[in-house]
Structure 1
């Protein structure tokens, strides 16, 4: 059983921290609510395309470099992220979830303070009960909804939701609203993984640790120690989620609930209470195994996805989405002979990845590496087949089951199965959107702004993966990358830009270390100069501490004070 310890480093998704900048709202019910007004404007489809996309840079000269260098350049395709119709669907729902969830949690409304007061009272009583909370808050409305995203492994659910969350600042600092003092810390979104054992206790501890990492607090130490009762931790988690105005809580890997012995229904009830009663919107993400949770006899499971489930299936071979994805990916070849995307290659490629995006990207990269090692300098059908057979042999049974549409075999691999009857997609809308995406990509592919943004994205990913900047977060690395990339032409050699960025990052990282050491040294000196140090001097010199304190000016002369008194 995995236990979150006080000193354990949980990897969490971190976004930007901003000072509140209040905006005029186009929708009337969103006005006069600082939590909503401080959010970015509602994103248009163009905004999503701009912010969501990550396009690796493969220059023509890269294709003529030495093979040992191109092994590294080929890996840039790992960063490839392309918007598809399903991403727009999820973005719209996420945008609505966050804003509507804040309607009934307006921090300048008395009901907001009333909600927190009730939660604090229940927390002090120390008994967590869903019915009790619902009863105590029956007169306080909730506008929060919940959503589930269910899809096969490797299809891009986690990547998509993380990219969409990062379009929003994660933490917003409020100081003044409409000329009134308004000191608040707003956490717009928080993403944690469901524990592998499905334990509610471990989930609470992960939540505390995530808040601690973001805000520098010590809630895990305070509320999550080993012998803490789970129900008490749930109360503290619920209270903190309200205090910090969490806009949406995203729980990934919910299929792990199936590993829970007793906690599955309790955790589902907890999620329902968070959204329906406490007012915190939730997004549950899981593989196709998670369908068992939502199709069981648990009444709460259906309520845990009040906005319904986005069923995320693999792309069909004949679909415009797949063709658009493959054609865009194919541009990132780094071999001397740029192989055209012929029908035999299209057929072989789909045959070996079955429309699963993660498999497609890995197959594309590994096929190029094989071509380099065999000195063939082009992707062929034979290389694709050999790569899939040898380098991706671990997933061949799953791919074969999908290829043959053998449902008996497919059900053995629940992570890749999905119930097609549950998928309701507006295909006409998808086709129109794919066509528009193609036009936009062609139009913007060579624009300076897009190139520069892609350079920054790639720099952040490359520098973060190095793992040597222990004092810098992704936001700080991004600012350095933007500064360096903004000074240089977009056609400048990427490796030169990367070298300059690494140098600047190393300098800032070292400066932060020095600053920290200086601060700690000052604190130590301050402690050494304090009253305790004077006491030690008195003891050493066999004097009474009173005399030393008086001599150092910490105690006034009582006679002088008496004579000065009027």
Structure 2
């Protein structure tokens, strides 16, 4: 067994006396951190970025980085405290039915062995004294902070505890199913791999990897969970479980049923649609609210900052963290508009607030408005529009259909913002057609490209006169297009044009523009404009 010195995840057990009768004389419970008060829980869960008003005078690049720190913000609400309390109670309740190398512990090994011999993943429920159910589910919409909160809660506990008799205790295992999907067998291997990380000399992954059947792997997982006294197993993002048909559903239901027998609590976290697909919502979800795992829906709001609901508590905590030089004041109008944009989903709200600040820094306005927020929802956060609309209308079917939609990652949003304003930072990007510096700058580039100086100034002047190009890059590109020689006309087409030239055309015949352009070294479009038969695009759009 590795000592704590060689295992960075492990601590040596320190025991505290337990006053609760069912928790006494149990080393597994005594080694856990003491039961916290609500105030202690709130303090431990709170996470805010460092901020001072002086930071608003920092450089743009530094402030962009500071805004990104809002991604880690967590303002504990009552739901967070209830969830932390539920996990702590669930863990201690499971341990109260187990003891280090106790008679019950050895009997469980025997039942696991018999189940394996009979070709089953888990033992059947024994007819012993009924105990509280130890399986539950954390169900909610994406973006409500389920996974983030679970991670923060588990920071309270050591990942591994080494007891004086060499027993390794794992208080929790948090397995997140990847977004690209995972099978039941892959889930089992993830559990074994995580145990190998916490108990380096276990080597479970290599030992059991040759096993082909998912039920056999799950049996090995059960033995490993039991062997290392795992306090709670959380299977997160369960909606990513692939092929959630009858076979997988039966295996997962078996895992839930056996949680009570093995005294290893199992918590599924994900969407309602995923749990229904697995066929375990009926047996788990009904018990979840009573066990302290209510459905995590959108934040409730009062509409009044003076009598705050969940939404007002969050937005009031978030709002002071503005790195803009012209910070925006929070009032009921702004708060309610933000809610309408996000429908009470915390992740959407934080990302909208971050994007608004990034825009203000990058476009130089150093502020934002309701119009800015609406534009962001139509652009950067357009991906979440279906779920926002479903929440607005209360359409349950649409909500289930779109509940797996996730907004862009924070890094992706920042990259998009930087790309959108890349032109603002390019040299010459601010040059417009009426700027006297545009023509000589464009002409200078054309001369360097090998074009005659007089012709270069002529083309640059023509581009400026048209007024279509914005910025040095666009203007130069437009001028270079004028430098391209016309494609040669040969064969029948040339003879047809020559023949047409001999025909006397009416003054308003469009073909006159072709002849005049070829004679005066202009473009056909210019001649059509001169005839009154065409108009430049910028005039049609109203940019006169």
Structures share fold, TM-score greater than 0.5: yes
Matching residue within 33, 56, 65 for 1:72: 65
Map of 2:143 onto structure 1: 154
User: Does the aligned pair in 2 maintain the 1:128–1:234 contact within 8 Å?
Assistant: no
- Which SS does the other structure have where 1:82 is aligned? coil
Partner of 2:245: 261
Q: For 2:35, what is the secondary structure of its paired residue? A: coil
8 Å CA contact 1:15, 1:170 repeated in 2? no
Tell me the distance in 1 between the aligned counterparts of 2:197 and 2:118: 26
2:206 matched residue in structure 1? 221
**Whole-Å Cα distance in 1 between the matches of residues 199 and 248 of structure 2?**
30
2: CA distance, partners of 1:97 / 1:302: 15
Give the TM-score taking structure 2 as reference length: 0.67
**Residue 292 of structure 1 corresponds to which residue in structure 2?**
276
Out of 180, 183, 188, the position equivalent to 2:166 is: 183
Q: Choose from 84, 103, 111 the match for 2:104.
A: 111
- Alignment-derived partner of residue 515 in structure 1: none
Change (3 A) 1:311 1:416: farther
Q: 1:127 aligns with which of 85, 110, 119?
A: 119
The structure with the largest alpha-carbon Rg is: 2
Query: Would the aligned equivalents of 1:102 and 1:143 in 2 still touch at CA under 8 Å?
Result: no
Shift of the 330–140 alpha-carbon distance from structure 1 to 2, 3 Å rule, reads: same
Q: Distance in 2 between matches of 1:303 and 1:184?
A: 36
Spell out, residue by residue over 1:285-311, the C-alpha distance to the aligned partner (whole angstroms, 9 max, x if none).
0123235248x6986556885847521
Q: Is the 8 A contact 1:144 1:280 kept in 2?
A: no
Q: Distance in 2 between matches of 1:67 and 1:402?
A: 36
Q: Partner of 1:455 in structure 2?
A: none
Q: Provide the residue aligned with 1:88 in structure 2.
A: 81
**Larger RCO (alpha carbons 8 Å, 6+ apart):** 1
Q: In the TM superposition, what is the alpha-carbon distance from 1:108 to its structure 2 partner?
A: 5.0
* The 10-residue stretch of structure 1 (395-404 or 49-58) with the greater mean CA deviation from structure 2: 395-404
Q: Are residues 129 and 362 of structure 1, via their aligned partners in 2, closer, same or farther at CA, if it must alter by over 3 Å?
A: closer
2:30 maps to 1:37: yes
Q: Within 2, Cα distance between the matches of 1:24 and 1:414?
A: 45
Separation in structure 2 between the aligned mates of residue 385 and residue 300 of structure 1, nearest angstrom: 42
The partner residue of 2:176 within 164, 179, 193 is 193
For residues 50-105 of structure 1, what are the alpha-carbon distances to aligned partners after superposition, in whole Å with 9 as ceiling and x for unaligned? 11111101222210011122111111111111101111111121111100101111
TM-score if structure 1 supplies the norm length?
0.64
Q: Which moved more, 1:64-73 or 1:155-164?
A: 64-73
Please tell me whether residue 145 in structure 1 is matched to residue 141 in structure 2: no
Note if contact 1:111-1:140 (Cα within 8 Å) is conserved in structure 2: no
203 and 406 in structure 1: CA distance in 2 versus 1, 3 angstrom threshold: closer
Cα RMSD of the aligned pairs, angstroms, is 2.8
- Structure 2 counterpart SS, 1:23: coil
Q: Distance in 2 between matches of 1:230 and 1:361?
A: 40
**Alignment length (residue pairs):** 393
Q: Secondary structure at the match of 1:311?
A: coil
Structure 2 residue 366 is the aligned partner of structure 1 residue 381: no
Q: Match for residue 94 of structure 2?
A: 101
Cα distance in 2 between the residues matched to 1:283 and 1:298: 12
Task: Note the alpha carbon deviations across 1:253-293, whole angstroms, 9 max, x for none.
Answer: 22235742343322332322331211110111012323524
Q: Secondary structure of the equivalent of 1:159?
A: helix
